[in-house]
Copies of this chain bind each other. A is one copy, B any other.
Amino acid sequence: METVSTTRAHGGTQGVYRHASAATGTDMTFSVFVPDHAPGARLPVLWFLSGLTCTHANVTDKGEYRRACAEVGIVFVAPDTSPRGEGVADDPAWDFGQGAGFYVDATEAPWAPHFRMRTYIEDDLPALVAEAFPVDMARQGITGHSMGGHGALTIALRNPGRFRSVSAFAPIVAPAHVPWGEKALGGYLGQDRAAWRRHDACALIEDGARVDELLVDQGEADAFLAEQLRPELLRAACEAAGIPLTLRMQPGYDHGYSFASTFMADHVAWHGARLGR
Protein backbone atom coordinates (compact mmCIF):
# COMPACT_ATOMS: atom_id res chain seq x y z
CA MET A 1 0.00 0.00 0.00
CA GLU A 2 1.29 3.41 -0.98
CA THR A 3 0.37 6.59 0.86
CA VAL A 4 -0.73 9.21 -1.66
CA SER A 5 -1.27 11.93 0.94
CA THR A 6 -2.07 12.48 4.59
CA THR A 7 -3.48 15.67 6.03
CA ARG A 8 -4.47 16.64 9.53
CA ALA A 9 -8.18 17.46 9.67
CA HIS A 10 -10.79 17.83 12.41
CA GLY A 11 -8.64 16.21 15.05
CA GLY A 12 -7.62 13.22 12.97
CA THR A 13 -5.75 12.18 9.86
CA GLN A 14 -7.30 12.19 6.40
CA GLY A 15 -5.28 9.90 4.18
CA VAL A 16 -5.45 8.83 0.56
CA TYR A 17 -3.87 5.48 -0.32
CA ARG A 18 -3.23 3.35 -3.37
CA HIS A 19 -2.75 -0.40 -3.62
CA ALA A 20 -2.60 -3.13 -6.23
CA SER A 21 -5.90 -4.97 -5.96
CA ALA A 22 -5.90 -8.68 -6.64
CA ALA A 23 -9.67 -8.48 -7.14
CA THR A 24 -9.66 -5.91 -9.92
CA GLY A 25 -6.15 -6.50 -11.23
CA THR A 26 -5.57 -2.75 -11.13
CA ASP A 27 -4.26 -0.12 -8.78
CA MET A 28 -7.10 1.16 -6.64
CA THR A 29 -7.20 4.42 -4.71
CA PHE A 30 -9.22 4.94 -1.52
CA SER A 31 -9.35 7.35 1.40
CA VAL A 32 -9.38 6.68 5.14
CA PHE A 33 -10.04 9.13 7.96
CA VAL A 34 -8.66 8.05 11.32
CA PRO A 35 -9.58 10.13 14.39
CA ASP A 36 -6.94 10.67 17.03
CA HIS A 37 -7.10 7.77 19.45
CA ALA A 38 -5.29 6.18 22.35
CA PRO A 39 -2.21 4.13 21.42
CA GLY A 40 -3.22 0.60 20.60
CA ALA A 41 -6.93 1.41 20.39
CA ARG A 42 -8.92 -0.13 17.56
CA LEU A 43 -11.86 1.95 16.36
CA PRO A 44 -15.12 0.98 14.68
CA VAL A 45 -15.15 1.53 10.95
CA LEU A 46 -17.80 3.01 8.65
CA TRP A 47 -17.64 2.16 4.95
CA PHE A 48 -18.96 4.77 2.55
CA LEU A 49 -19.66 3.62 -1.00
CA SER A 50 -19.95 6.38 -3.58
CA GLY A 51 -22.27 6.95 -6.50
CA LEU A 52 -22.06 7.15 -10.28
CA THR A 53 -19.11 9.11 -11.69
CA CYS A 54 -17.46 9.42 -8.27
CA THR A 55 -14.04 8.45 -7.04
CA HIS A 56 -12.98 8.39 -3.38
CA ALA A 57 -12.40 12.12 -3.75
CA ASN A 58 -16.00 13.33 -3.96
CA VAL A 59 -17.05 12.36 -0.46
CA THR A 60 -13.56 13.04 0.86
CA ASP A 61 -13.77 16.64 -0.36
CA LYS A 62 -17.47 17.33 0.06
CA GLY A 63 -18.94 14.77 2.48
CA GLU A 64 -18.41 16.75 5.72
CA TYR A 65 -17.97 13.54 7.73
CA ARG A 66 -14.71 14.27 9.54
CA ARG A 67 -15.99 16.34 12.45
CA ALA A 68 -18.67 13.79 13.25
CA CYS A 69 -16.29 10.84 12.88
CA ALA A 70 -13.79 12.51 15.20
CA GLU A 71 -16.51 13.18 17.78
CA VAL A 72 -17.81 9.62 17.62
CA GLY A 73 -14.40 8.01 17.25
CA ILE A 74 -15.02 6.13 14.03
CA VAL A 75 -12.78 5.36 11.06
CA PHE A 76 -14.29 6.34 7.68
CA VAL A 77 -13.27 4.44 4.53
CA ALA A 78 -14.19 5.69 1.05
CA PRO A 79 -13.30 3.38 -1.87
CA ASP A 80 -13.42 4.14 -5.57
CA THR A 81 -16.47 3.10 -7.62
CA SER A 82 -14.73 1.03 -10.31
CA PRO A 83 -11.38 -0.07 -11.65
CA ARG A 84 -9.72 2.54 -13.83
CA GLY A 85 -6.77 3.03 -16.08
CA GLU A 86 -5.26 1.83 -19.30
CA GLY A 87 -6.36 -1.63 -20.30
CA VAL A 88 -9.60 -1.34 -18.33
CA ALA A 89 -12.77 -1.44 -20.38
CA ASP A 90 -14.87 1.72 -20.45
CA ASP A 91 -18.01 3.16 -21.97
CA PRO A 92 -18.65 6.73 -23.06
CA ALA A 93 -21.81 6.92 -20.93
CA TRP A 94 -21.48 8.41 -17.44
CA ASP A 95 -23.68 5.71 -15.90
CA PHE A 96 -21.80 2.63 -17.15
CA GLY A 97 -18.18 1.48 -17.22
CA GLN A 98 -15.48 3.33 -15.30
CA GLY A 99 -16.99 5.27 -12.38
CA ALA A 100 -20.04 3.00 -12.45
CA GLY A 101 -18.99 -0.43 -11.20
CA PHE A 102 -22.28 -1.06 -9.37
CA TYR A 103 -20.45 -3.22 -6.80
CA VAL A 104 -20.85 -6.41 -8.83
CA ASP A 105 -18.38 -8.97 -10.19
CA ALA A 106 -18.96 -8.73 -13.93
CA THR A 107 -19.35 -11.93 -15.89
CA GLU A 108 -19.75 -10.39 -19.34
CA ALA A 109 -17.15 -9.19 -21.83
CA PRO A 110 -15.41 -6.82 -21.89
CA TRP A 111 -16.02 -6.15 -18.18
CA ALA A 112 -15.25 -9.46 -16.51
CA PRO A 113 -11.44 -9.16 -16.25
CA HIS A 114 -11.37 -6.03 -14.04
CA PHE A 115 -14.90 -5.06 -12.97
CA ARG A 116 -14.89 -7.14 -9.78
CA MET A 117 -16.08 -4.51 -7.36
CA ARG A 118 -18.09 -6.96 -5.26
CA THR A 119 -14.99 -8.96 -4.39
CA TYR A 120 -12.99 -5.77 -4.04
CA ILE A 121 -15.36 -4.26 -1.46
CA GLU A 122 -16.35 -7.48 0.27
CA ASP A 123 -12.94 -9.14 0.54
CA ASP A 124 -9.96 -7.37 -0.90
CA LEU A 125 -10.12 -3.92 0.62
CA PRO A 126 -11.39 -5.08 4.05
CA ALA A 127 -8.37 -7.38 4.37
CA LEU A 128 -6.06 -4.47 3.65
CA VAL A 129 -7.91 -2.05 5.93
CA ALA A 130 -7.91 -4.57 8.79
CA GLU A 131 -4.15 -4.91 8.48
CA ALA A 132 -3.09 -1.34 7.81
CA PHE A 133 -5.40 0.76 10.00
CA PRO A 134 -6.41 0.79 13.70
CA VAL A 135 -9.84 -0.71 13.11
CA ASP A 136 -11.97 -3.22 14.99
CA MET A 137 -13.48 -5.35 12.24
CA ALA A 138 -16.05 -6.69 14.70
CA ARG A 139 -17.60 -3.23 14.68
CA GLN A 140 -18.31 -2.32 11.07
CA GLY A 141 -21.05 -0.17 9.60
CA ILE A 142 -21.76 0.55 5.96
CA THR A 143 -23.47 3.35 4.09
CA GLY A 144 -23.40 4.88 0.64
CA HIS A 145 -24.90 7.35 -1.76
CA SER A 146 -27.07 6.52 -4.80
CA MET A 147 -25.28 3.65 -6.59
CA GLY A 148 -23.22 3.41 -3.40
CA GLY A 149 -26.40 3.10 -1.37
CA HIS A 150 -27.26 0.15 -3.59
CA GLY A 151 -23.82 -1.23 -2.82
CA ALA A 152 -24.19 -0.74 0.93
CA LEU A 153 -27.62 -2.37 1.07
CA THR A 154 -26.76 -5.36 -1.10
CA ILE A 155 -23.38 -6.03 0.51
CA ALA A 156 -24.93 -5.89 3.99
CA LEU A 157 -27.82 -8.13 2.96
CA ARG A 158 -25.49 -10.70 1.40
CA ASN A 159 -23.16 -10.77 4.41
CA PRO A 160 -25.37 -11.28 7.49
CA GLY A 161 -23.69 -10.38 10.75
CA ARG A 162 -20.79 -8.52 9.19
CA PHE A 163 -22.23 -5.04 9.64
CA ARG A 164 -23.82 -3.88 12.87
CA SER A 165 -25.37 -0.88 11.14
CA VAL A 166 -26.53 -0.13 7.61
CA SER A 167 -27.77 3.15 6.16
CA ALA A 168 -27.97 4.89 2.81
CA PHE A 169 -28.37 8.27 1.15
CA ALA A 170 -30.77 8.30 -1.81
CA PRO A 171 -29.99 4.67 -2.67
CA ILE A 172 -30.87 2.72 -5.78
CA VAL A 173 -32.99 0.11 -3.99
CA ALA A 174 -34.26 -2.01 -6.87
CA PRO A 175 -31.81 -1.90 -9.78
CA ALA A 176 -33.63 -4.67 -11.62
CA HIS A 177 -36.61 -2.32 -11.96
CA VAL A 178 -34.98 1.01 -12.91
CA PRO A 179 -33.11 2.17 -16.03
CA TRP A 180 -29.68 2.70 -14.38
CA GLY A 181 -29.79 -0.76 -12.89
CA GLU A 182 -31.17 -2.57 -15.91
CA LYS A 183 -28.40 -1.11 -18.04
CA ALA A 184 -25.65 -1.90 -15.53
CA LEU A 185 -26.75 -5.32 -14.37
CA GLY A 186 -27.56 -6.36 -17.92
CA GLY A 187 -24.21 -5.11 -19.15
CA TYR A 188 -22.09 -6.58 -16.38
CA LEU A 189 -24.06 -9.76 -15.57
CA GLY A 190 -25.90 -10.56 -18.80
CA GLN A 191 -29.58 -10.72 -19.56
CA ASP A 192 -30.53 -13.59 -17.25
CA ARG A 193 -32.43 -11.61 -14.65
CA ALA A 194 -32.21 -14.42 -12.10
CA ALA A 195 -28.53 -13.54 -11.71
CA TRP A 196 -29.48 -9.98 -10.87
CA ARG A 197 -31.41 -10.82 -7.70
CA ARG A 198 -28.25 -11.10 -5.58
CA HIS A 199 -27.50 -7.50 -6.61
CA ASP A 200 -30.90 -5.96 -5.93
CA ALA A 201 -31.68 -4.96 -2.34
CA CYS A 202 -35.43 -5.46 -2.68
CA ALA A 203 -35.00 -8.86 -4.36
CA LEU A 204 -32.51 -9.96 -1.69
CA ILE A 205 -35.05 -9.08 1.00
CA GLU A 206 -37.81 -10.88 -0.90
CA ASP A 207 -35.50 -13.89 -1.11
CA GLY A 208 -34.98 -13.91 2.65
CA ALA A 209 -31.90 -11.78 3.31
CA ARG A 210 -32.16 -9.66 6.44
CA VAL A 211 -30.54 -6.79 8.30
CA ASP A 212 -31.52 -5.64 11.80
CA GLU A 213 -32.72 -2.21 10.69
CA LEU A 214 -32.13 0.43 8.03
CA LEU A 215 -31.82 4.21 7.99
CA VAL A 216 -32.39 5.91 4.62
CA ASP A 217 -32.50 9.62 3.82
CA GLN A 218 -34.00 10.69 0.51
CA GLY A 219 -34.40 14.18 -0.90
CA GLU A 220 -37.85 14.98 -2.19
CA ALA A 221 -36.44 17.28 -4.89
CA ASP A 222 -34.10 14.56 -6.15
CA ALA A 223 -34.41 14.50 -9.94
CA PHE A 224 -33.83 10.72 -9.92
CA LEU A 225 -36.37 9.90 -7.22
CA ALA A 226 -39.32 8.63 -9.24
CA GLU A 227 -37.51 6.88 -12.07
CA GLN A 228 -34.25 5.51 -10.61
CA LEU A 229 -34.44 5.43 -6.82
CA ARG A 230 -38.02 4.43 -5.92
CA PRO A 231 -37.71 4.18 -2.12
CA GLU A 232 -41.34 2.99 -1.98
CA LEU A 233 -40.12 -0.37 -3.27
CA LEU A 234 -37.70 -0.66 -0.33
CA ARG A 235 -40.44 0.39 2.05
CA ALA A 236 -42.73 -2.33 0.71
CA ALA A 237 -40.01 -4.97 0.85
CA CYS A 238 -39.05 -4.04 4.42
CA GLU A 239 -42.68 -4.01 5.56
CA ALA A 240 -43.28 -7.44 4.06
CA ALA A 241 -40.10 -8.77 5.67
CA GLY A 242 -40.49 -7.07 9.03
CA ILE A 243 -37.25 -5.08 8.70
CA PRO A 244 -37.49 -1.80 10.62
CA LEU A 245 -36.84 0.94 8.07
CA THR A 246 -36.49 4.60 8.99
CA LEU A 247 -37.08 6.32 5.64
CA ARG A 248 -36.80 10.07 5.97
CA MET A 249 -38.09 12.07 3.02
CA GLN A 250 -36.28 15.43 3.12
CA PRO A 251 -38.23 18.30 1.54
CA GLY A 252 -36.31 20.43 -0.92
CA TYR A 253 -33.14 18.36 -1.05
CA ASP A 254 -31.72 17.12 -4.36
CA HIS A 255 -29.39 14.24 -5.22
CA GLY A 256 -26.01 15.91 -4.71
CA TYR A 257 -23.46 16.30 -1.97
CA SER A 258 -25.33 19.26 -0.50
CA PHE A 259 -27.94 16.68 0.44
CA ALA A 260 -25.55 13.95 1.55
CA SER A 261 -23.35 16.31 3.58
CA THR A 262 -26.39 17.78 5.31
CA PHE A 263 -27.37 14.42 6.80
CA MET A 264 -23.88 12.92 7.05
CA ALA A 265 -23.37 13.80 10.72
CA ASP A 266 -26.74 12.23 11.56
CA HIS A 267 -25.72 9.01 9.86
CA VAL A 268 -22.29 8.94 11.50
CA ALA A 269 -23.90 9.42 14.92
CA TRP A 270 -26.50 6.74 14.15
CA HIS A 271 -23.79 4.28 13.18
CA GLY A 272 -21.69 5.32 16.16
CA ALA A 273 -24.54 4.54 18.55
CA ARG A 274 -24.72 1.01 17.11
CA LEU A 275 -20.97 0.42 16.79
CA GLY A 276 -19.96 1.64 20.22
CA ARG A 277 -16.77 3.43 21.06
Give the B-binding residues of A (Cβ under 8 A): 7-11, 14, 61-62, 64, 66-67, 219, 221, 252-254, 256-259, 261-262, 265
Chain B residues, CB < 8 A from A7 = 254, 256, 258-259
Shortest beta-carbon distance, A49 to chain B, in Å?
20
Q: How many copies does the complex hold?
A: 2
- Interface majority SS on A: helix, strand, loop or mixed? mixed
A11, B61: Cβ atoms closer than 8 Å: no
Task: Give Cα distance in the complex from A14 to B219, angstroms.
Answer: 15
17 contacting pairs across A/B (C-beta < 8 A) = A8-B219, A8-B221, A8-B252, A8-B254, A8-B259, A9-B253, A9-B261, A10-B258, A10-B262, A11-B262, A61-B62, A62-B62, A64-B64, A64-B67, A66-B258, A67-B262, A67-B265
Chain B residues, CB < 8 A from A259 = 7-9
Chain B residues, CB < 8 A from A219 = 8
B62, A9: Cβ atoms closer than 8 Å: no
Chain B residues, CB < 8 A from A256 = 7
A261, B10: Cβ atoms closer than 8 Å: yes
Chain B residues, CB < 8 A from A262 = 8-11, 66-67
A258, B14: Cβ atoms closer than 8 Å: yes
Task: Give Cα distance in the complex from A258 to B11, angstroms.
Answer: 10
Task: List 6 extra interface pairs beyond A8-B253, A9-B253, A11-B262, CB under 8 A.
Answer: A7-B256, A7-B259, A8-B252, A8-B262, A64-B261, A66-B262
